[in-house]
Chains A and B, each alone.
Chain A
């Protein structure tokens, strides 16, 4: 047998066995609880009627395909777009990043200044003079 001839597999099997034995007192009661609800649910499932499962399979596939074609998740829903347009109008006129303000490489002093304003909107709260100093 392959498990008895290869030492590594033997050791691995013993380690897994030890872990499972250690976990058994905790895991087994959960397992028996799982079995209780599973047995209750399995009573509902029809036996010897594979056609029903095939129909369910086809229905789930069709619903899944239609749902994911209609809402693939790469475009925001209409209500979401409207909400964010409203928020945009309420906020500052236009956001310009620091990069576009300065063509030269930013100095260390400027970088320190930038770190103070992690949120882009905060920069507008300061006066324009502070920007010019740099």
Chain B
């Protein structure tokens, strides 16, 4: 694959990651900030809304740039393996930053009238912990890929450039 195609592939995946990690969460949190359901106004009592948006933007930018580097690199190259692993690690930070920013403990306050009041507290911490445990397997897999690319570097190059046993394939 030529340089142009590699870069286009990288740009496409960067765009996908920008949408997934930044645009969708941004609109979701903005939407739930002032959510109305069944005629009862539910106000997301989240003092750290700006903090959530900050962490989403910060790690979203890092993930997207690493995705660009990873997806624009040649197949089975060491740099692809390395940046894919870095991307997964930053992804872990991104997921945990939801808790860090306060998004894992959400408090919704109902305030319809003086008779209908209350609050709903959602704790996603355990769910995120299970998710991170599963995510660990992805880190292991990416680490394995990187080690595989380093160990079998010669074979991968022979295959990629069509050179076998000292002869060029025709």
Binding site for B on A (CB under 8 A): 20, 23-24, 26-35, 38-39, 41-42, 45, 47-48, 50, 53-54, 56-58, 60-61, 63-65, 67-69, 71-76, 80, 84, 87-88, 90-91, 95, 119-121
Contact = CB atoms under 8 A, between A and B. Distances in A.
A65 to B, nearest CB: 6
Given A30-B136, A76-B163, A119-B165, A54 B61 contact: yes
Contact of B7 (A24, A28, A30, A65): A65
24 contacts: A24-B130, A27-B133, A27-B134, A30-B136, A31-B129, A31-B130, A34-B132, A38-B93, A42-B93, A50-B57, A53-B62, A56-B61, A64-B65, A68-B3, A68-B10, A68-B73, A68-B74, A69-B3, A73-B6, A73-B75, A74-B2, A80-B161, A91-B166, A95-B167
Given A23-B130, A42-B93, A69 B7 contact: yes
A58 B65 CA distance: 8
A74 B3 CA distance: 9
Nearest to B65: A60
Nearest to B59: A53
Contacts of B131: 31
B109 interface: no
B74 A73 contact: yes
B1 A72 contact: yes
B133 A84 contact: no
B79 A57 contact: no
Nearest to B70: A64
Given A28-B130, A34-B132, A88-B167, A67 B79 contact: yes
A73 B79 CA distance: 11
Given A56-B61, A61-B69, A73-B74, 12 more contacts: A26-B133, A31-B129, A35-B96, A38-B96, A47-B54, A53-B61, A53-B62, A58-B65, A60-B65, A61-B68, A65-B10, A68-B74
B10 A64 contact: yes
B155 interface: no
Contact of A30 (B2, B62, B133): B133
A41 B61 CA distance: 17
Contact of A32 (B54, B100, B129, B161): B129
B46 interface: no
Contacts of B129: 28, 31-32, 35
B165 A121 contact: yes
A90 B68 CA distance: 42
